[in-house]
């Protein structure tokens, strides 16, 4: 069953993106390089709690 997660920027901690993942396929936290509107650069975004 996919669950909804929120991705937050590592530099400014703004929560920019949301997505769905399946915990049985990916048990660790998701990390993706995405564009941050606040920083105006591509930064690493991590899954929040």
Angle at 34 between CA 32 and CA 40, to 5 degrees: 145
For residue 39, what are the β-bridge partners? none
| Global confidence as pTM | 0.84
pLDDT in tens, the chain (49 residues): 899 999 999 999 999 999 999 999 989 999 999 999 999 999 999 999 8
Rounded to the nearest 5°, which phi and psi values hold at 17? -125, 155
Could you tell me if 13 and 7 are in contact, meaning their C-beta atoms sit under 8 angstroms apart?
no
Domain assignments of the chain as residue spans, ordered by start: 1-26
Angle at 47 between CA 17 and CA 25, to 5 degrees: 110
Q: Give the three-class secondary structure for 42.
A: strand
């Amino acid at each position: 069953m996919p669950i909804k997660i929120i991705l937050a920027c590592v530099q400014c901690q703004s929560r920019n993106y949301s997505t769905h993942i399946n915990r049985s396929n990916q048990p660790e936290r998701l990390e993706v390089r995405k564009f941050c509107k606040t920083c105006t650069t591509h930064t690493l975004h991590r899954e929040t709690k």
